[in-house]
Structure 1
């Protein structure tokens, strides 16, 4: 199937359309190319030509002014508002929804899309528009028949914040923030499997539990705890160290021996 192209208004160079339907109206994509999404509307003829797109939305767009008043009515007194709705990721669904904006004389100022986190195989649309309160209410009433309205009068920064959270999961960026996720780290605690060598050693298990508590209770900025080893532990680790030292010349790698 031949790939579709969108022509910039300011030049003849074709710009390839984005393949996924949910990215078709991405403001980040179009802003990098000096284009806007003012009054975005699919062309019905192009929809017919693109009807065999394998279940995706039409990949060719056309732009027509949808705020024109046929009767010369003034747009004075109109305010900006926004609506977030979801629809099936199928050919023609978005066309029908956007057609209502034109019929109700609602001017689209900005539009974005993303895959729905609530319902699989659906796309959420954020539409910022300029219209009167009456026109907006009429639009909502008709939109309800075709799409699922998630919210309206939605601030743009709320939509952006949700999108950012979805794209990049939170992770600690400072040492102090490790305290917020230290309890999620997989580590050995007082509970041991039955086949563990120290499973039946109660002294070992109590000592192990103590070390875990010290580590879990430590917070960034506090003095590093000093562990007092028992005489038995000192003797045990002394034997381990001396025996390993004997094996270093024949069993350790050259890099390790060089850094001793």
Structure 2
């Protein structure tokens, strides 16, 4: 995209003014740069590890600055503009506000500037700026991994974890013979129907005593509205429509297992990536990886609960822009909550994790006295090792979903990022709150919502 530049005739806004300078003297800028570098302290150019900038391609760096100009309306602004012009800085964002400690009222201004400059000019630009402005400060901004900002960007989140069938090598006719594949699909359908009935019947017998109340309430609605029955297979489209009306979540068919970063990113938009294959016939009551039974019987009923949906989205939002190390921790949090979480209800421990609610054997095991039960603490849960090939030796128990969500959001605030994020449910997009004005706009919207709620409360009382 284009990057507008202060006093720039360059349509791309990357290099400032090209050719002759504003005064018409071709060598003037070079002379100013040389003079500034002579006056600057003998330091090496700052790199991304020194807390001020991060490098872009071709040796360019992004720099965020705040400074104050006294009597800005007279000569200060033109001198400051000359500094940015001299070092060919491309201005990404330029904002002014009245200085907090002002003696001349409107004549003293505070500036917020985000600019792009050649990495070799960073130190000397700051030094030059300090000669014409006061309280020059830099704000740290780290390079962060790409993340989707609009729901359509999820099309780019397609990093699959490779899986293969160990009993079907590349010379097998199943890879080339269409008739074989057709016969195989027919027997797969028969096996699917049998396994679905068996799994549904046995798990349904456990739910009244082992599943949490939220799950039981929604499961009845799914039987009534979406064809959840022992002898029928629910359609993903019908189930997705049901979820959308209840909590705003929707199902998105996935070709296989996604990477943790891509999968968690989808949750931020209230999108659940759903697999479409069935577990192996040798183990119908447990699947080491997610399948159709796991998604429909485990995840869907809980995603239709508003508090749980909020908890799920909170993990997704925390993942956006996080480092690989933090993604690994959030994946562990997801594993011990959304997949294998337990909670307290009426003095008993109940299951809400999809991995438990879709596995007869582990559901019985998890609520027995055999495994260890620990209170849910995001700091400890995030670094606890988990087991994906057999039952868990440890399960974490939440007081309730509201408490778990509050703890998770508190944990997410500690994840270091150079900005805060806000999800806009009207546009299904992520807004980056990286300027004071964006935060002010958000506060204004919240004030209007609070007014409406207060008015509604007055009418009720």
TM-score range, shorter chain: 0.3 to 0.5
Which TM-score applies when normalising by structure 1? 0.36
Which TM-score applies when normalising by structure 2? 0.22
The structure with the larger Rg is 1
Q: Which has the higher contact order (CA 8 A, sep 6+)?
A: 1
